[in-house]
Amino acid sequence: MGGGARGPLGATCEADVATIVDLIDSVRCISDFEVGCMDAAQIPWVLAYPRRCNG
């Protein structure tokens, strides 16, 4: 799960999901990636595009 997304600290979101807590952590990681990277992509003159968003 994760498809190359990276969390806020640059760690990959790809992890085995064995418990509900693992699932929640994975969804949170992917959501953080989507929100942070999409915001930066939409306003490049305000926010530099984070290196972690390059895949």
Q: For the full predicted model, state whether its pTM sits above 0.85.
A: no
Per-residue model confidence as pLDDT tens digits over 15-51: 788 999 988 888 888 887 777 777 777 877 777 777 7
According to the 3-state scheme, what is the secondary structure of 6-41? ECCCCCECCCCCCCHHHHHHHHHHHHHHHHHHHHHH
Yes or no: say if 4 and 34 are a contact pair by the CB < 8 Å rule.
Answer: no
CB atoms within 10 A of CB 5: 20
Q: Does 55 score more than 70 pLDDT?
A: no
Q: Does 1 score more than 70 pLDDT?
A: no
